[in-house]
């Protein structure tokens, strides 16, 4: 049966606190508190979405215990590609020893591009077109200096190997819901995204996720209490808890996967990151509902059931929490430098 | 153009995967695609070096070359890999002063970017294991 054979995450070591960002701008410190994100992960000066993807993928391949050369598709979703034109997927495929006999895809759909890849991969592996697929969500998320996004836009990656072999979580079903909704965008050539302020909530995040999740749960006659862990997209730590309440989930079904509360929103790795921490802790038979969302807008709802193999796979790579615990706090000026927002003018 | 497409392309095996050509007779390893050992005249074999090792020595460079200002200070390390090979590599994620003998692990990182329009160079660096 097709499903997830390996999972892995990567989070850079650096953290900038919301308090430090607010202090720099003379902003009301209640704003970041209301978002529920105390600090966010920041990529170091030699990191980008490719290097982040590489390490998350290494961890996923280690847990799947498959030969890299047998991977038939490398699919990366990111909205912070190092190149506007030149695929990240080929760099990753070559560096991991997967190339040349593979498909390699870079996709863009705000925060759910990688999830689109997961849907493709599940179908392609199930029908036998490819043997294994590597799906990666990786971002060094952009937030313009002074924008409220700056409190949460973080860096990190998460990856999954989709296969019929060595499965740790069987795929039960998925459903996708998309509309043209202008809640968040970045024009070609523009450095930072724009967003529709309050419009990002009800018509975008909540409407699409509720629609996708309700459809899937109704189809399988599931009640919220039937689900062990609920892992939605998490632009901040407040929206997922409100969404959970709207759908009838309890807080304890959400908190393990609510990784944005620890490191901020890693965009394409947002729900994926939560899923990796859930798999690090799940037991055989646990039912997991993962629901990524991307602006523009669309949501996916997936049902997975953990298998017996999950126990032996846990120790084959570094756990997500270990990356969270490796942290070095930096000040706002260092954050600006590491993200290339300020440059030396003289040598 | 500071970063040459042909050099980036040619250096991929070593820079991306720590793959070298090794002489089966004398054991000498080559980072470049040297197919015949110049000393033994034996055909070399492609091998992948270990991704973990111990730090034997290190240096911190604050006066960095042009094009590396964003990465200053630079750290370099002499690392003895688990397979016995010794290599010099860039160190990264140096969160506190490195210690001789500390465990190191290989990670893919950005070496430099050629301005805002040229190529980006990637390579294996070593960071303190955790």
| A297 lies in the same domain as A182 | yes
Check residue A15 and give left, alpha or beta (phi > 0: left; psi -120 to 50: alpha): beta
| A29 lies in the same domain as A121 | yes
User: A313 lies in a domain?
Assistant: no
Range of the domain at A273: 169-306
Q: Which residues of A touch B16 (CB under 8 A)?
A: 94-95
A208 is catalytic: no
Q: Which residues of B touch A322 (CB under 8 A)?
A: 130
| A164 lies in the same domain as A174 | no
| A83 lies in the same domain as A180 | no
- Bridge partners of A132? A71, A163
| A119 lies in the same domain as A257 | no
| A186 lies in the same domain as A51 | no
Cβ pair A13:B95 closer than 8 A: yes
Q: Given A127, A151, A168, which residue is the final one in a domain? A: A168
Among A184, A5, A4, which Cα is nearest to A108's?
A184
Hunting for tokens 């990856």 — which residue is that? A159
Q: Which residues of B touch A51 (CB under 8 A)?
A: 107-110, 122
A111 is catalytic: yes
| A78 lies in the same domain as A225 | no
Cβ pair B93:A45 closer than 8 A: no
d(CA B108, CA A35): 33
DSSP string for A312-331: HHHTTS--HHHHHHS-EE--
Asked whether the ipTM of the predicted complex exceeds the cut of 0.95, the reply is: yes
Question: Which residue of B18, B71, B72, B109 is the best one to mutate when testing the A interface, meaning the one whose CB has the most A CBs within 10 A?
Answer: B109
pLDDT by residue for chain A (347 residues), tens digit each?
A: 999 999 999 999 999 999 999 999 999 988 888 999 999 999 999 999 999 999 999 999 999 999 999 999 999 999 999 999 999 999 999 999 999 999 999 999 999 999 999 999 999 999 999 999 999 999 999 999 999 999 999 999 999 999 999 999 999 999 999 999 999 999 998 999 999 877 889 999 999 999 999 999 999 999 999 999 999 999 999 999 999 999 999 999 999 999 999 999 999 999 999 999 999 999 999 999 999 999 999 999 999 999 999 999 999 999 999 999 999 999 999 999 999 999 888 77
Q: State how far residue A54 is from chain B, nearest Cα, in angstroms.
A: 7
| A270 lies in the same domain as A201 | yes
Say what the pLDDT of residue A345 is. 84
User: A258 lies in a domain?
Assistant: yes
Task: Categorize the per-residue pLDDT at B1 as very low, low, confident or very high, splitting at 50, 70 and 90.
Answer: low
Overall size of chain A counted in residues: 347
| CA dist list (Å): A6 to A47, A74, A163, A296, B85 | 23, 14, 9, 29, 31
Domain of A234, CATH number, reads 3.40.47.10
| CB-facing half-sphere around the CA of A176: CA atoms within 13 A | 13
Q: Given A168, A186, A212, which residue is the final one in a domain? A: A168
Q: State how far residue A58 is from chain B, nearest Cα, in angstroms.
A: 10
pTM, two decimals, is 0.97
- Cβ of A15: how many Cβ atoms within 10 Å? 22
- Angle between helical axes of A270-281 and A113-126 (0-180°, round to 10): 60
pLDDT tens, A301-312?
A: 999 999 999 999
| A102 lies in the same domain as A230 | no
| A204 lies in the same domain as A263 | yes
- Cβ of A138: how many Cβ atoms within 10 Å? 34
Among A35, A11, A20, which Cα is nearest to A159's?
A11
User: A195 lies in a domain?
Assistant: yes
d(CA B46, CA B34): 10
pLDDT tens, B33-84?
A: 999 999 999 999 999 999 999 999 999 999 999 999 999 999 999 999 999 9
Return mean pLDDT, chain A: 97
Q: Given A168, A195, A210, which residue is the final one in a domain? A: A168
Number of domains chain A contains? 2
User: A328 lies in a domain?
Assistant: no
| A175 lies in the same domain as A273 | yes
| A140 lies in the same domain as A65 | yes
């Amino acid at each position: 049966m097709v499903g997830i054979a390996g999972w892995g995450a990567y989070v850079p070591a650096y953290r900038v606190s919301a308090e430090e960002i607010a202090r720099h701008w003379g902003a009301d410190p209640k704003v970041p508190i209301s978002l529920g994100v105390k600090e966010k992960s920041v990529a170091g000066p030699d990191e980008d979405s490719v290097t982040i993807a590489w390490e998350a993928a290494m961890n996923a391949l280690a847990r799947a215990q498959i030969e890299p050369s047998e991977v038939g598709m490398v699919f990366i979703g990111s909205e912070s590609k190092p190149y506007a034109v030149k695929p990240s997927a080929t760099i990753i495929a070559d560096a991991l020893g997967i190339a040349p006999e593979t498909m390699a895809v870079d996709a863009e759909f705000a925060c759910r591009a990688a999830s689109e890849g997961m849907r493709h991969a599940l179908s392609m592996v199930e029908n036998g077109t490819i043997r294994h697929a590597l799906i990666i969500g990786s971002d060094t998320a952009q937030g313009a200096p002074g924008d409220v996004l700056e409190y949460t836009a973080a860096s990190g990656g998460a990856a999954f190997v989709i296969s019929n072999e060595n499965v740790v979580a069987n795929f039960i079903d998925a459903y996708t819901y998309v509309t043209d909704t202008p809640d968040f965008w970045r024009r070609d050539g523009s450095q930072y995204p724009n967003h529709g302020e309050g419009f990002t909530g009800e018509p975008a995040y909540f409407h699409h996720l509720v629609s996708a999740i309700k459809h899937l749960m109704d189809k399988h006659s599931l009640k919220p209490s039937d689900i062990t862990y609920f892992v939605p997209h998490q632009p901040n730590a407040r929206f997922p808890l409100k969404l959970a309440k709207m759908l009838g989930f309890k807080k304890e079904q959400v908190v393990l996967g609510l990784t944005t509360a620890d490191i901020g929103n890693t965009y394409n790795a947002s729900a994926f990151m939560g899923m990796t921490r859930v798999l690090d802790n799940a037991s055989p038979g646990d039912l997991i509902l993962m629901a990524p969302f991307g602006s523009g807008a669309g949501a996916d709802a997936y049902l997975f059931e953990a298998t017996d193999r999950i126990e032996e796979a846990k120790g084959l790579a570094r756990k997500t929490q270990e990356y969270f615990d490796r942290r070095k706090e930096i000040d706002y000026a260092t954050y600006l430098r590491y993200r290339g927002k300020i440059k030396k003018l003289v040598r | 153009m500071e970063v040459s497409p042909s050099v980036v392309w040619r250096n991929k095996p070593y820079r991306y995967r720590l793959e070298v050509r090794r002489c089966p007779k004398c054991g000498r390893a080559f980072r470049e695609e040297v197919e015949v050992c110049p000393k033994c005249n034996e055909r070399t074999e492609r091998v992948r070096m270990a991704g973990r090792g111990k730090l034997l020595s290190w240096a911190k460079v604050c006066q960095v070359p042009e094009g590396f200002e964003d990465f200053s200070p630079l750290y370099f390390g002499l690392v003895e890999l688990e397979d016995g090979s010794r290599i010099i590599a860039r160190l990264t994620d140096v969160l506190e002063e490195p210690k001789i003998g500390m465990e190191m692990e290989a990670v893919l990182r950005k070496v430099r970017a050629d301005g805002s329009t040229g190529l980006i160079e990637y390579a294996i660096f070593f960071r303190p294991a955790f």
